[in-house]
Chain A
Amino acid sequence: MPPNSRPHRILVVDDDPDILVYLSMLLEDNGYVVESAGDTASAFAAVDRFRPDLVLVDVLMPGRSGLDLVVTLRRDSRWKDIPVIVITGNDQVLHDDCKTYLGAHDGIRAPEGVLGKPMDPHTLLDAVRNLSSSFRLSDTFS
């Protein structure tokens, strides 16, 4: 695959500081440049500043949900093509909400990947690595 489609910069969004530390270190150890944000608002600001190649976002957070962030990004002509992987501990979100919520907003592309917590680090790394084309990682549903 062409080297310039390989994600280098990853933005991680989760309200749990432990998970932010974990994912940041895991990804940095594997050669990525990582920024983290604790909620949707600061995430959006970080996108503007950091220009990530990929966004990893937790769905259930206080305030605006991670899916809100996806919609906001997709609606912005600057960020609409950034691939997004959604992570969540909630089965319903995993299976339904992504489709229904995003389906409700016309023309919004579903996330490129949906991962369930707790995620296997290899699965995560594979998903991130393979995101050169936007295919749905449906076989990673737990």
Chain B
Amino acid sequence: MDARYQQYFEDMPCYLSVHDRDFRIIDGNRRFRADFGERVGEPCYRVYKGFDEVCEDCPVAKTFDDGASHGSEQRLITRDGQTVEVMVYTTPIRAADGTVTAVMEMHTDISEVKRLQGALQRSQERLAQLFEEVPCYISVQGRDLVIQHANRKFRETFGPAVGDHCFRVYKHRDEPCLVCPSRQTFVDGQSREHEEVVVSASGERINVICTTAPIRDVDGKVAAVLEMSTDITQIRQLQTQLASIGLLVGSISHGIKGLLTGLDGGMYLVNSGFEKDQPQRVKQGWSMVERNVERIRSMVLDILYYAKDRELEVTAIDAAALVAELREIIYKKASDLDIDLTVDVAPDAGTFDGDPKAIRATVLNLLENSLEACRSDRKKSSHHLKFVVRRSEPWMIFDVEDNGIGMDRETREKIFSLFFSSKGVKGTGLGLFIANKIVDKHGGTIKVESEPGRGARFLVRLPVVACPSTHNIPAT
């Protein structure tokens, strides 16, 4: 029996050594002898580690102490100087009376395990780095929709986040969203793509495309969901611009056709007037042509302006001089249309900051709209247009009031937007959209009051001192 066990001892594919209470090795197996030499009689700490004294946390010492088995990881140095990582287990060897007389140590080579462990750690570090550094918003949520991990871009944009509910962090909601792609992924384990609008910590709205992916545990159940979101705000803005150009083309289309018909009409009158030798008709026709050419000119210029979004060139504008210039431009048209024109600028109006071309175009647009509104109104016998400019710190106020055809609520609400129902409206309506953009760029506001049949009043406020608005106007 002994011989058989001796054989087992000898042939075990690990280091086996037996130690006495003085830590001397009193027996060792073949593997031990092969890698550490014939060192029976020497202390184990010297043989295995080249130390001069007992190791801290020596498992042999513990076993002598409490008679129980102990295990630990150790690093040994063979007689060739090679480092071997091992897992050590100790077993007490008892005498007949139960006292521990010796301890056997079994060392299993875990170098490969250690190597794999190292590779795994490096791989995990790489992954963590990737997670951190990818320029998308990445977060990991549990079933309770609490954020467990968030990468750098996410934290920079939405704040600390981890430990908080996703719907609170980037939607600023108190409860889960109605459509939650992550929740759906928890249910069916499918990846999803979803467009969202999220809100940064600073309140900025960001358009994103969010992709969810299930993270499964060892049982294959979805333990967490990874959300990766890409910022598409710029794309959406471009899209909106393109869409609005499309809408623009659509909405111009009707206006242009009306103008072209007007031109046709003018030409018909001129030609038939010549044919019939009716100079009065020729005159009437020619004025029709001129009028519609003028409208087409405005439309084309508006479109060109719209197509090239320029930066403001801000300088000091003298209010009185501007008003005089505008009056010069419109007074003839007003008198031709029999519209009573009142123009007034407060004596203390002074100067204000603005882009002269843009401001002139804007106010002129309002004035011309009023003239047209008066012209279109058949119900009243007399029409007026009042244009007043006054200063009310910190604003410069432009007040344009007419008693023309007026606007109903639907029209009023739509006039500054690009898309509006072109019910009888001449031209593109671009003029007001651009006017609104210009006013906003200056950091000002524009308001309109109107009743159908009664008239309209436009109030433009511009800051006297330049303070351009920092936010973008949506294109529609």
Q: Which residues of A contact B (CB under 8 A)?
A: 15-16, 18-19, 21-23, 25-26, 29, 38, 60-63, 65, 88-91, 116-119, 121
Contact = CB atoms under 8 A, between A and B. Distances in A.
A12 to B, nearest CB: 12
Interface stretch (B27-35, B252-260, B300-308): B252-260
Interface string B403-437: 00100000100000000011111100000000000
A16 B258 contact: yes
Interface stretch (B169-177, B266-274, B346-354, B439-447): B266-274
Interface of B: 253-258, 260-266, 268-269, 272, 281, 284, 288, 291-292, 376, 378, 405, 411, 421-426
A19 B376 contact: no
A63 B405 CA distance: 11
Contact of B272 (A29, A61, A91): A29
A22 B262 contact: yes
Nearest to A116: B257
Contacts of B378: 38
Contacts of A63: 423
A90 B260 CA distance: 13
Contact of A62 (B257, B284, B423): B423
A75 to B, nearest CB: 22
A15 B256 CA distance: 15
Contact of B422 (A19, A23, A60, A119): A60
18 contacts: A16-B262, A16-B426, A18-B266, A18-B291, A21-B288, A22-B266, A60-B424, A61-B424, A62-B411, A62-B423, A89-B253, A89-B258, A116-B257, A117-B257, A118-B257, A119-B261, A121-B264, A121-B268
B262 A19 contact: yes
B423 A65 contact: yes
Contacts of B284: 21
B260 A117 contact: yes
A62 B262 contact: no
Contacts of B426: 16
A23 B266 CA distance: 11
A90 B257 CA distance: 8
B423 A22 contact: no
Nearest to B288: A18
A26 B272 CA distance: 9
A26 B265 CA distance: 9
Contact of A21 (B260, B265, B411): B265
Nearest to B264: A118
The 4 closest A-B pairs by CB, nearest first: A22-B265, A89-B257, A117-B257, A18-B262
Most chain A beta-carbon contacts within 10 A, residue among B258, B264, B423? B258
Most buried by B among A15, A22, A116: A22
Given A19-B258, A26-B265, 16 more contacts: A15-B376, A16-B424, A18-B262, A18-B266, A19-B262, A19-B265, A21-B288, A22-B265, A22-B288, A60-B422, A61-B424, A89-B261, A90-B422, A117-B261, A118-B257, A118-B260
A8 B411 CA distance: 38
A23 B272 CA distance: 13
Q: Which of B257, B266, B268, B411 has the most CB of A within 10 A?
A: B257
Contacts of B405: 62
Contacts of B423: 60-63, 65
B265 A89 contact: no
Contacts of A38: 378
Contacts of A25: 265, 268-269, 272, 281
A117 B264 CA distance: 10
Contacts of A118: 257, 260-261, 263-264
A78 to B, nearest CB: 26
A138 to B, nearest CB: 19
A39 B425 CA distance: 13
A19 B291 CA distance: 12
Q: Which of A26, A29, A62, A91 has the most CB of B within 10 A?
A: A62
Of A18, A60, A121, most buried by chain B (CB within 10 Å of CB) is A18
A25 B425 CA distance: 23
Nearest to A24: B265
Nearest to B275: A29
B254 A90 contact: yes
Contacts of A65: 423
A106 B266 CA distance: 40
Contacts of B257: 89, 116-118
A18 B378 CA distance: 14
Contacts of A91: 253
A22 B268 contact: yes
B297 to A, nearest CB: 16
Most chain A CB within 10 A, of B265, B376, B421, is at B265
